[in-house]
Structure 1
Amino acid sequence: MSNEHTPEFDLVVRHGHILTMNAARAAFPDGFLGIKDGRITAVEDDRECLRYQTAHEIDATGCAVLPGMINAHTHLAMTLFRGMADDVALEEFVSRLTTEEANVLTPDTVRRGAASAAAESMLAGTAAALDMYWFSEATVAASADYGLRVVSGPTFANFANPDPRSFAETLRDAEEQLAGFPAGDPAAPALMPHSTYALTRKQLEEVAGLARRHGCRVHVHAGESKREVAEVRRLHGATPIQVLDQTGLLGPKTVIAHAVELDDGDIETLAATRTSVAHCPWSNLKLACGVAPVGELLEAGVTVALGTDGAVSSNGLDVWSAVKLVATLHKGVSGDPALITAEQAIDMATVHGARALGLAGELGTLEVGKRATLQVVDLSRPHFEGCRDVWSALAYSARPSDVRDVIVDGVQRVSSGALVGK
């Protein structure tokens, strides 16, 4: 065969039901996806690809092929504390956790906890995460060993924590770190002001100024519970969203975690500033914080992605179960069975997640030119029997154990349900 007429690929995935998740919602029930140099170079019907050369081929017959999941809010290394604060309210949860963190966390322990979390995430089809935790460099390095792409950076908080640096020292170090990246570089660290109750207005303004100077992303907890909102009103005389807006922290590069307690004005502000929300339904329910107004946020045009939170508050890093929950919980709360469809729920875990993390140009859809980051989900298991629709099968029946293969940047990280090379 002549190379001039025969395309060459490093890896191809054939015969799976490919869901590109692109704007046109193109899908190929018997699809062909070609990968070269870590990027997707072909996505089409398999019948069109009669001649090609490849080093490796994956037969995805009976499987769905879709983008890797994106965990839009988590604390990966909290795997170290799983099960230590169950069946308690948020305030007791925070008290127990911060005490343990101060005693246990070091760069080495964070590295160990993050490695375990990265393995758990990869096996469940999650390829990227927005992580807020202490010693972020350790988390990023440990996760990279497993192929998990982590957006993270320094956390700012006034309460007792394992980081010995003061706020001013952390801010100075963050400035030096960001200076090593071009402005707006998606690979640059993000800034993580913990919350509006953990920092003063002046401190929040200083973090916002640093973010503006370097065009970096910001991630912050806000509106997680009624008691938090009451405390922030006492401290700052406004809601958490109002405080973030007043201090310059909202905008298209900001992701708000939780956003359970919002008033109509808060939702309008999030929409107007194009701020994204990371919805963490399992954590919010387990801590009895309530249910975020996801329907209203989506209707207002807010990007809503899905997060697991840490393995202490949700006990797992399973984005698949968050997909099923978001597609069912809000139906029950609203009384509208069509509020969030199966397809929309998967959208939140892929397309919206990539948009929230600033990675929409690279991840979240399967399109030519994007990074070859995807998962192959085995639909031949008994619990899929009789399912007439692939979106329904994935949103309502899929489990992490159904993830057969995971490819990140063209490299196979999971094969037949096992980590490759681990």
Structure 2
Amino acid sequence: MSSPEQWTHPEPGVGPAATAAKPTAEQVIAGLRATSEGGPELVQLLTPEGERVPNSQWDPYVSDVTAEDLRNLYRDMVLTRRVDREANALQRQGQLGIWVPLLGQEAAQIGSGRALKPQDMAFPSYREHGVAWTRGVKPTELLGIFRGTDHGSWDPLANRFHLYTIVIGNQVLNAAGYAMGQRFEGKVGDDDGEATICYFGDGATSQGDVHEGFVWASVYDAPLVFFCQNNQWAISEPTERQSRLPLYQRARGYGFPGIRVDGNDVLATLAVSRWALDECRHGNGPVLIEAFTYRMDAHTTTDDPTRYRLSDELEAWKLKDPIERVRVHLVRHMDTENEFFDQVQDESDQLAAELREFCQNMPEPPPGRMFSEVYAEGSPVLDAQRDAYLEYAAGFDGGEH
């Protein structure tokens, strides 16, 4: 009896989708090849071996990137990874309730984040720690979300970086509405125009919110870059069980361009993101970017990826590490000395120590904060609830719990 779960080919024209409960050996090989290579449409400027790939179409968007700029991108990725690893360890030690790792996705986030201009707006999901870094959000400001003490302690308007969204895909609707507002207010049309970028994963593309965002952004020409980090696994489901087509090709059905970039290549991601944001800034949006990358760790710290994916797949992607390819390029082609890498390592150690100290000494919020920091304005009903709760809490030892 056929299974309703269809195993599909990663590219159109390869052959019909299988309807067997399990894929054939040929289909497994085809899927793994697509996962590791990304297909012929993949935009890549820096190979996994650290070699520069000339590209007449995309080179102009990174022609101003100097050796110092590339070193800064390397530094961004190293520090972001160190924050991620330290927070992951803090969760394992009981200091955080949960953590959402970004290991392996540093290039996708740093490249796109550094493409943003100060006036642009970013809407993250819950894994965009690297984008937060590029928008001036301190790593310590992320911890309250995962410790359960706040919803995020930065100012979304000041940083031009919205608070994290836990509900899968919901940020796409928020971003579409915001970008439509930019359009209605005439904030697009030239180099000084505004653009919005919205981050989500491959699994979120199965959510209705994402498709509704596609529809509204397309019919209103919203200046919105949909940035899909395809890390190959929607928790425990591979991408090929979610779509018959490569994800970037879905943009065709909504009437706007889609492009697939090597999400482990910080230079290519920077170039493609600059182009897409510039298109939106000039009123030619929206655009869908599929950053083809890989989640090297668990979906969250509550997940066990060894139950659904092969170790061989993980080992293959380790050879495509986004940080290592930049390091090799800096050493081989930009005469970067060991002193620079040592300085970055020392800086990452210091950052990790500061993060740990902050996390271990985070004060517990007062009970009244849930009433004062959720709504923009109070109300008689809310005030009555606050007073009743505080009176109740005062009856316990200490008067605060």
- Normalising by the smaller structure, the TM-score range is 0.3 to 0.5
With normalisation by structure 1, the TM-score equals 0.32
The structure showing larger relative contact order (alpha-carbon pairs under 8 Å, at least 6 residues apart) is 2
Flag the structure with higher strand content.
1
Larger Rg: 2
- Structure 2 length as normaliser, TM-score? 0.33
Q: Which has the higher helix share?
A: 2
